[in-house]
Structure 1
Amino acid sequence: MLIDRKKQHLDIVLGGVPVSATIGAGFDAIRFEHVALPEIDMSDIDLSTRFLGKEISAPFLVSSMTGGAEKAELINHNIAIACEAIGIPFAVGSQRVAIDTDADWGMNRALRRLAPSVPILANIGAAQLNTGYGIDQARRAVEMIDADALIIHLNPLQEAVQPEGDRNWAGLTGRIGELCAALHVPLVVKEVGAAISPTVAARLINLGVTIIDVAGAGGTSWAAVEAARARTPAEAAVASAFADWGQPTARAISSLRQAQPDIFIIGSGGVRNGVDAAKALRLGADLVGQAASVLRSATVSPEDVINHFEVMTAQLRVACFCTGSSNIAQLRSARLEAAPFTV
């Protein structure tokens, strides 16, 4: 049942069914002030940064996207090979199938052998902490892929509209806190497309969470995905009503950075290109994540994933050049203006 559901999710996202959020990510509402005299050499622009104690070539993350489907092994291996070649981190999808069954679908130490030098992030769902998961399962998720950190993903909307969803979320804050205290690697908490608000972030930070992926609205809508796989018109109607639920990614990044100046923020959700990535970094993200936009490339070959991020990197570099920014730190001070401008 779980494996079938994961396969359906992957097939829907890859199959051309409209599952993007009906609300934009918010990046089109802002633009950079163009610097016509940059006074820098574009070839000297440094896009490197550090994440989880490791140097990475650019502020990109391949976000969690696959779970227990048969294609997951191919996808994860292609991503691992590509990320090692590029020098950027990646996160695996939910490891629930690998933990609960004998099939790991590529969620094993082969990923670390393919990507020995970049950060790898493990992943389990918060809802599973109320269905028997605890520190043992969390450690297993980390150890099975030799991960540098563990993601706990928050998906209450998806669980609420999914026929098989786990809807008991009582007491999860405390259980996340227990993992924070007991786990030997950093805990990352992320949403899956509706954003983490500053209010919720403050609760997580008080528990000891130091990395938050806002994963705002504007990319894949898991409510729309669940509407596409609904068994009845009524189920589809309930799920589809929430296709625009959540805060746009741009707003979520900005709000969280203003509220929590020191927290490490991953900005994901509807990041379409390197210009969007530049805007996310300017608004306060430390790293920019992409999932669905990488997924199709990941089903083809490592070279396709590499090509995708070469374009992203080139676009980000041009954005830095045309704002007079020699590095990511300077980009964070580039001037922004509202768009579109009207008289």
Structure 2
Amino acid sequence: MISDRKLEHLLLCTHSDVEYHKKTGFKDVELVHKALPEVNQEEIDLSTSLLGKKMDSPIIITAITGGHPSSVEVNQKLARVAEKLNIGLGLGSQRAAVENPELASTYTIAREEAPEALLIGNIGAPQMEQAHEAGEMMDLDALAIHLNPLQEAIQPEGDVDTRGYLENIQKTVEEMNIPVIAKETGAGISGNDALSLEKAGVQAIDVAGAGGTSWAAVETYRSQDKTMGELYWDWGIPTAASTVEVSQSVQIPIISSGGIRNGLEAVKALALGADAVGMALPVLKASYLGEEALFKFFSRFLEEIKVAMFLVGAGNLKELQKTDLVIQGKTREWLQERGYNTKIYARRSSL
């Protein structure tokens, strides 16, 4: 049953080692320190707008859960925090509720608790025919179509026929009356694919790069034969590299997610061109400690963002994307071999 699989995924993500062994690439990104910031840290403005929705900070709790009765409480906590902080919230795949309406409350609780927050629905690329029903389930601000070929290839019951996905995405965009986001699930999106998705009409891209939760790892725990999942555990485009590739390839908003674990990494992602950053696993784990723990987590995270912005002299997000940074190591090697310009970030503040 899909509902049982949702619970299994939730438990595995919470209690097992499911993260990439290789890193996001953000350690290769060095922000250039400013000894004369000319900024008041207490007045730094993190507000932004994404898909027409104003947010107090560029943070999205990305797709985590829904589809099993036990996930109601989790989504309730996440929604309350998203509403109070005025940040975004993404739901897990709504397929379970489309196929079993009795499970709809595990998702709709999010809008009930967060009437004003940016709320992003979710349906898998193999189930795009369910997009309309997912969009009608509640008052969504956008619908994410998640791309998970790695997970599908590893899981025993995976759908590995991806022919026609791009054409179906274009049709879905045309049929939906809310913005459509294309979202990977942890293996990253290349600049080439991002351009194809933009041409297909999607209004935003969540790169969801390699470095956070590995769905090959999750499926390794579920499979009797561990060899395939272990082999592809670290497959994917590192988040930092994916963020650069996509930001240099398209004009639509970009969400950078995949292993972002602190405010400094978030600032690096935003400085590389992301319009917002997303997190799932650390937020999920904090939610099990209660709402107070969630608020403490985000309070610390936001403070870390402001410290980094202060140290590069950025009073707001627009100014942050004009500050200097240097891309080094394997990330620079990746990007340069792929034909992306890594030098444009180093002295852009003087342009």
TM range (shorter): over 0.9
Shift of 1:303: 2.6
| Backbone CA RMSD of aligned residues | 1.4
Deviations 1:43-98 (A, max 9, x none): 11101001121211101000001132332111111011110000101010011111
Structure 1, 28-37 or 181-190: larger mean CA deviation: 28-37
The equivalent residue for 2:96 is 97
What is the CA–CA distance in structure 1 between the aligned matches of 2:234 and 2:228, rounded to whole Å? 13
What is the SS of the residue equivalent to 2:289?
Answer: coil
Shift of 1:228: 1.2
The equivalent residue for 1:45 is 44
The equivalent residue for 1:240 is 230
What is the CA–CA distance in structure 2 between the aligned matches of 1:301 and 1:19, rounded to whole Å? 22
1:131-170 pair list within 5 angstroms: 134=129, 137-170=130-163
Deviations 1:228-287 (A, max 9, x none): 1112xxx31011111111110000001111122x22100000101000000000011000
1:133-212 pair list within 5 angstroms: 134=129, 137-212=130-205
Is the CA contact (8 Å cut-off) linking 2:94 and 2:107 kept in structure 1?
Answer: no
What is the CA–CA distance in structure 1 between the aligned matches of 2:102 and 2:2, rounded to whole Å? 12
1:318-329 pair list within 5 angstroms: 318-329=307-318
2:258 maps to 1:269: yes
Is the CA contact (8 Å cut-off) linking 1:142 and 1:148 kept in structure 2?
Answer: no
Shift of 1:108: 4.7
The equivalent residue for 1:308 is 297
Structure 1, 109-118 or 190-199: larger mean CA deviation: 109-118
Between the two proteins, what is the percent identity of the paired residues? Answer: 40
Shift of 1:338: 4.4
Is the CA contact (8 Å cut-off) linking 1:216 and 1:246 kept in structure 2?
Answer: yes
What is the CA–CA distance in structure 1 between the aligned matches of 2:101 and 2:174, rounded to whole Å? 29
What is the CA–CA distance in structure 1 between the aligned matches of 2:107 and 2:312, rounded to whole Å? 42
Is the CA contact (8 Å cut-off) linking 1:124 and 1:152 kept in structure 2?
Answer: yes
Is the CA contact (8 Å cut-off) linking 1:76 and 1:106 kept in structure 2?
Answer: no
2:57 maps to 1:67: no
The equivalent residue for 1:30 is 29
The equivalent residue for 2:18 is 19
Shift of 1:304: 2.2
What is the SS of the residue equivalent to 2:277?
Answer: strand
Is the CA contact (8 Å cut-off) linking 1:95 and 1:122 kept in structure 2?
Answer: yes
Amino acid of the structure 1 residue aligned with 2:154: V
Is the CA contact (8 Å cut-off) linking 2:212 and 2:258 kept in structure 1?
Answer: yes
Is the CA contact (8 Å cut-off) linking 1:72 and 1:105 kept in structure 2?
Answer: no
Shift of 1:339: 5.5
Quick one: structure 1 residues 19 and 290, their matched pair in 2 at CA, closer, same or farther if it must change by over 3 Å?
Answer: same
Shift of 1:19: 1.1
2:47 maps to 1:58: no
Is the CA contact (8 Å cut-off) linking 2:50 and 2:253 kept in structure 1?
Answer: no
What is the CA–CA distance in structure 1 between the aligned matches of 2:212 and 2:107, rounded to whole Å? 28
Quick one: structure 1 residues 109 and 244, their matched pair in 2 at CA, closer, same or farther if it must change by over 3 Å?
Answer: closer
What is the CA–CA distance in structure 2 between the aligned matches of 1:107 and 1:146, rounded to whole Å? 14
The equivalent residue for 2:82 is 83
Is the CA contact (8 Å cut-off) linking 1:72 and 1:106 kept in structure 2?
Answer: no
The equivalent residue for 1:296 is 285
Is the CA contact (8 Å cut-off) linking 1:54 and 1:119 kept in structure 2?
Answer: yes
Unaligned runs of 5+ in 1: none
Unaligned runs of 5+ in 2: 330-351
Shift of 1:105: 5.7
What is the SS of the residue equivalent to 1:215?
Answer: coil
Shift of 1:139: 2.3
What is the CA–CA distance in structure 2 between the aligned matches of 1:20 and 1:161, rounded to whole Å? 16
Structure 1, 36-45 or 271-280: larger mean CA deviation: 36-45
What is the SS of the residue equivalent to 2:226?
Answer: helix
What is the SS of the residue equivalent to 1:31?
Answer: strand
Is the CA contact (8 Å cut-off) linking 2:62 and 2:280 kept in structure 1?
Answer: yes
The equivalent residue for 1:118 is 117
What is the CA–CA distance in structure 2 between the aligned matches of 1:297 and 1:108, rounded to whole Å? 19
The equivalent residue for 2:242 is 252
Is the CA contact (8 Å cut-off) linking 2:142 and 2:181 kept in structure 1?
Answer: yes
Is the CA contact (8 Å cut-off) linking 1:125 and 1:154 kept in structure 2?
Answer: yes
What is the SS of the residue equivalent to 2:101?
Answer: coil
Amino acid of the structure 1 residue aligned with 2:226: A
What is the CA–CA distance in structure 1 between the aligned matches of 2:226 and 2:171, rounded to whole Å? 36
Is the CA contact (8 Å cut-off) linking 2:72 and 2:109 kept in structure 1?
Answer: no
Greater RCO, 1 or 2 (C-alpha within 8 Å, sep 6+): 1
What is the SS of the residue equivalent to 2:169?
Answer: helix
Moved beyond 6 Å, runs of 4+: none
Is the CA contact (8 Å cut-off) linking 1:219 and 1:269 kept in structure 2?
Answer: yes
